[in-house]
Amino acid sequence: MDTLAPSVPAQPPERRTRRTALVRWLGRGLETHISLPLFALLLVAALWSAALHMIRAEERAAHEAAGEATRELVDTYEAQMARSLSGIDQTLRVLQYAVEMNGPGAALEAMSAKGLLPPGLVFQVALVGADGRVLASNPHTRIGGDVSRATWFTWHREHDRDLPFVSQTIGRREPHVVFSRRIEDGAGRFAGVATVALDPAYFTSSYERSRLGEHGLLGVTGSDGVVRAARSGEYVSWGQRLDLDQADRVRLTPSAIDGELRYTSTRALGGFPLVAVVGLSEAEQMAEFRARRRTWLLAASAGTAVLILLVTLVSAWSWQLAKARRRERLAQETYAAASEGSLDAFFVLRTVRNDSGAVIDFLVETTNTRAEQLTGLPKAHMEGKHMSVLLPSYLGLGVFADLAAVASDGVAREAEWLAELAPVLNRWLHRQIVPVEGGVVAIVRDITERKLAEQRIRHLAHHDELTGLPNRSLLRDRLGQAIRDAERKGNAVGLAFIDLDGFKLVNDGLGHNAGDELLKVVGERMVRCLRRNDTLARFGGDEFVILLPDLSGDPMAITPLLEKVRQAVTEPVEVGGQEVQVSCSMGVVLYPRDGGDANTLMMNADAAMYRAKENKDSFQFYASEMNASVEEKLVLLEGMRSALEACGDPARGDGAGQFQLLYQPKLDLRSGRMFGVEALIRWNHPEQGMISPLRFIGLAEESGLIVPLGEWVLRTACAQAQAWRAAGLPPLSISVNVSARQFEEKRLVERIAGALQDSGLPPAWLEIEVTESSIMRDLGRAVDKMRELKNMGLSLSIDDFGTGYSSLSALKSFPISRLKIDKSFVRDLADSPDDQAIAMAVISLGHKLNLRVIAEGVETEQQRAFLRANDCDEMQGYLFSRPVPPERIAELLAAAPPVPNHPLELP
């Protein structure tokens, strides 16, 4: 019986054909020369996506960094201009006051006698009468000239407001900007104008290429939009009109001054109709980003090229053997493309040997375009020719020997040489020769730029960039060599340390460019005075050092040379159209007399130079006692540090050690009663006895010890004042001096609050005395700190009033209650009309501002009588009492009741 198996239905022929075709195409897709390019395409897309993403991120970061840099620069420039404008306005106010006190005819002479006139090299001060005629000026120019039609004059004549006016830039040959204030007579009528004129370049002297670049913008424009002064690189201009934007905003816009695209920010200058403008060139700020962008693009391109090359080679190798010729041609095309795009010259050379197998020549198989430029021969002319025919001159330069050696031993070689033949005459070339089958490949690259850069770097490492003179590194090398030679030969070595006198005045007055030009001229002059084997080095700033080797050891032998150098420096120099003159101070040492090594000689020469600067324009040979003052300072500083560490905490009742406080009484001139004291520090040194504050306070300022020392004084004074109160003595205010270093310290307010809290002294009984010079260092920040102290309940006073500069314009904003007339004005009150006038002016000014006025240093009855007759409120000085210990103050308080209703007395 037959069994029937189930049958499988047959597929239609068309379906079988489609499936076979699909499998065949899928198989082809999996082949290397098809799948690999597809995969590489994905890698290339990922590579470029990452590169473009990084480029966009760095571009955003670069824009943000440029904006932040612009904001920082405009902050700095605003602060600089605020200080400068404050000084100018202070001069105008002093002019107003001088006219009121002395009249227009004698005002400038009175200010000059008091040293209140600014330097005439930079500032031109003038007084103009109500009719527009120049009454007086400094320097003495244009007296009697008519300026009645000047914009600033008509503005003040038509407006009775006491506001400064800033003119547009005036003049072509001698451009200047005029700052002016109205002068009124006793009845408040217009009586003329006080002016200060200065070159517009004054506003842009702080231009620094290291921060602003070659195409940055620094300038000042008026609130009317007209530029007073603007500088970009070396170019200074004015008179353009700018579209002023809101402050603190950075805009990227073409400049109306020169069309340069810049990041620009503006900042209004408070109190003046002026706006500070700072701009950074977009091209300079974005240059680094663009270089990095090129790097990213080149890296992505190189990666893409390498990937394509690999894919091409691998795909080519996967082709069937029948297509080997096509694969070889494709490889040749790829090589040709790579070589043509290279900056190097390629020479593919086939070795030519004689019967014995020795290399006798090379046949040029192929080259690239760069090889044509290097040899000056067309590629078609070189291919198939022998090197001995094409380039016979190279056979004798070692090139052929290297080619033959590589072809023989198969070891790659490379070398550098200076070409002596056209078309690459005097250019540095680098060759790399690698072996290939049947020959060699020579790769030649032009490395001239790299060689020049290396030479430049070596030069800069040992020479000053500005003057081209040896720097301190090269100087020390030559000095060490000179000492070794002198030790071997028994000779001497001279070293002169030179510092220019008056350089800072030129640098500040005419600008850094003028200062740089002066340094170069002076350096050239000194070099011309020296011998061939001498060395002049720039040590830094305006300091130079002369090295004189091979000397006899007699100081008089080098005196004529030093005098020649000194005279050469003092000759006038014309910089920036202005003739200036500087001198120099030289400190001279001799090896081995003044030191046995380079460091000792440099140190002693520096000490001798500082001794020479005491007389200026001279040279001084080193003597051992010159270091005595330095050693004395070091000993005193160490003693001060030890004494300060030994001081106890007044709040705990610890002993004070070597430091102690004395207290000088303050008297009310009307009642004659004591109402307060000033705390004064003294140092009882265990070896030197009582040391004056004049010796150690300045040293404490320089070393920074003034901060802990001042805190000890503050805490001790507060504790002593509270002790007097606890003893039931009449209330007494106590004054403590705060130095400039203390006042600038960030924790000053915190330290004062801590001293008051620990001692329990009410704030109203503490008065802080600050000098006006310390306030004027940073006026805005100083006023904020003073107001913070005032809000704590303390009293504030200005010590040594009248000895500083630029305080009158800001005095009205100080939250103070007292002015102290400096003892230098009190000393000659009985005989000096000038000191009497100053004292009367300070008293009147203080009373008009509702301040009390105290005079220090009162020692005679005549002084007290004058002060009382002119309504001075208070006094202190030896006439009543020297600084005394706290026990004596307690006795004085117990003997007399406090002054009734004194402004500092609490109920």
For position 689, what pLDDT does the model report? 84
809 has pLDDT over 70? no
User: pLDDT tens across 82-91, in order?
Assistant: 888 888 888 8
d(CA 888, CA 593): 57
Highest mean pLDDT among 352-361, 499-508, 816-825, 851-860: 851-860
Rg (CA), the chain: 42
Residue 314 clears pLDDT 50, i.e. is over it: yes
pLDDT above 90 for 780 = no
Residue 655 has pLDDT above 60, yes or no: no
The two three-digit tokens of residue 141, written as one number: 């120019």
Task: Give the rounded distance of the alpha carbon of 590 from its chain centre.
Answer: 36
Q: How confident is the model at residue 479 (pLDDT cuts 50, 70, 90)?
A: very high
Report whether pLDDT(414) > 60.
Answer: yes
**CA angle centred on 231, ends 226 and 237, rounded to 5°:** 50
Give the angle 769-738-855 at the CA atoms, nearest 5°.
Answer: 30
Contact between 566 and 586 under an 8 Å Cβ cutoff? The reply is yes
Q: State the CB neighbour count (10 A cutoff) for residue 416.
A: 12
Q: Residue 34 is which amino acid?
A: I
**Cα dihedral 547/551/554/555 (nearest 10):** -10
- For residue 326, pLDDT beyond 90: no
User: Which tens digits make up the pLDDT trace of 140-157?
Assistant: 767 778 888 888 899 998
**762: CB partners within 8 A, 6+ apart:** 756, 793, 906
Residue-level pLDDT at 638: 85
pLDDT in tens, 535-558: 999 988 889 999 999 898 888 889
Lowest mean pLDDT among 297-301, 382-386, 497-501, 536-540: 382-386
- Percent of the chain at pLDDT above 70? 87
Q: 690 versus 716: which is more confidently predicted? A: 716
β-pairing verdict for 359-367 and 345-353: antiparallel
Q: What span, in angstroms and rounded, lies between the C-alpha atoms of 879 and 868?
A: 14
Q: pLDDT by residue (tens digit) across 663-689? A: 999 999 998 899 999 999 999 888 888
- Residue 651: per-residue pLDDT: 43
Nearest 5°: CA angle at 425, between 423 and 428? 115
Q: What is the torsional sign of CA 779, 785, 790, 795?
A: negative
What pLDDT, in 10s, does the model give residues 231-270?
A: 998 888 888 888 877 667 888 889 888 888 999 988 888 8
Q: What is the pTM of this model?
A: 0.41
Predicted pLDDT of residue 16: 64
- What would the pLDDT profile of 765-777 be if each residue is shown by its tens digit? 999 998 876 776 5
Instruction: Give the pLDDT of residue 739.
Output: 86
What's the whole-number mean pLDDT along residues 816-823?
A: 88
pLDDT at 1 over 60: no
The model's pLDDT over 282-291, given as tens digits with 9 standing for 90+, comes to: 888 888 888 9
Percentage of the chain modeled with pLDDT above 90: 26
pLDDT value of position 227: 92
Q: What is the mean pLDDT of residues 563-574?
A: 92
What are the tens digits of pLDDT across the range 66-115?
888 888 898 898 888 888 888 888 888 888 888 888 888 788 888 888 88
- Model confidence at 703, in pLDDT bands (50, 70, 90)? confident
What values do phi and psi take at 424, rounded to 5? -115, 40
Say which residues have a Cβ less than 8 Å from residue 757's Cβ, sequence separation at least 6: none
Residue 449: pLDDT over 70? yes
Which pLDDT score, from 0 to 100, does residue 497 have?
94
Q: Region 779-805: what's the mean pLDDT?
A: 81
pLDDT higher than 90, residue 653: no
Type of residue at 666: K
Which residue, among 682, 700, 600, 726, has the nearest Cα to 885 in the 3D structure? 682
State yes or no: pLDDT of 525 exceeds 60: yes
Q: Report yes or no: 595 and 589 within 8 Å, Cβ to Cβ.
A: yes
Q: How confident is the model at residue 699 (pLDDT cuts 50, 70, 90)?
A: confident
What gap in Å lies between CA 217 and CA 202, rounded to an integer? 15
The pLDDT value given to residue 413: 85
Res 49 pLDDT > 80: yes
pLDDT of 2 above 70: no
In this predicted structure, which of 34-43, 336-345, 452-461, 611-620 has the lowest mean pLDDT? 336-345
Residue 126 scores a pLDDT above 60:
yes
The answer to whether the peptide bond before residue 708 is cis (omega within 30 degrees of 0) is no
The mean pLDDT value for 112-132 works out to 86
pLDDT beyond 60 at 898: no
Question: Mean pLDDT lowest for which of 333-342, 458-467, 703-712?
Answer: 333-342
Q: Is 469 exposed, middle or buried (0-12, 13-18, 19+ CB in 10 A)?
A: buried
Band (pLDDT 50/70/90 cuts) for residue 193 is very high
Q: What is the rounded average pLDDT of the residues 409-438?
A: 79
Lowest mean pLDDT segment, chosen from 146-160, 189-203, 451-465? 451-465
Mean per-residue pLDDT of the chain? 83
Instruction: Give the DSSP letter string of 108-154.
Output: HHHHHHTT-SPPTTTEEEEEEETTSBEEEEESS-STT-B-TTSHHHH
More confident residue, 466 or 422: 466
| pLDDT of 39 | 82
What distance in Å separates the CA atoms of residue 41 and residue 37, rounded to the nearest whole number?
6
d(CA 865, CA 131): 43
Sequence-separated (6 or more) residues with CB below 8 Å from residue 701:
739, 740, 741
Q: What is the pLDDT of residue 876?
A: 94
Range of weakest confidence among 2-16, 317-331, 606-620, 879-893: 2-16
Average pLDDT of span 719-746:
89
In this prediction, residue 902 carries a pLDDT of: 47
CB 635 within 8 A of CB 657: no
Instruction: Tell me how far apart the alpha carbons of residues 684 and 422 are, in angstroms, rounded to a whole number.
Output: 85
Is residue 8 very low, low, confident or very high in pLDDT (cuts 50, 70, 90)?
Answer: very low
Residues 810-830: what's their mean pLDDT? 84
pLDDT for the residue numbered 904: 43
Q: Residue 813 and residue 808: Cα distance in Å, rounded?
A: 10
Is 760 in contact with 722 (CB distance < 8 Å)? Answer: yes
| pLDDT above 60: residue 391 | yes
Burial of 263 (0-12, 13-18, 19+ CB in 10 A): buried
DSSP string, 283-333: HHHTHHHHHHHHHHHHHHHHHHHHHHHHHHHHHHHTS-GGGHHHHHHHHHH
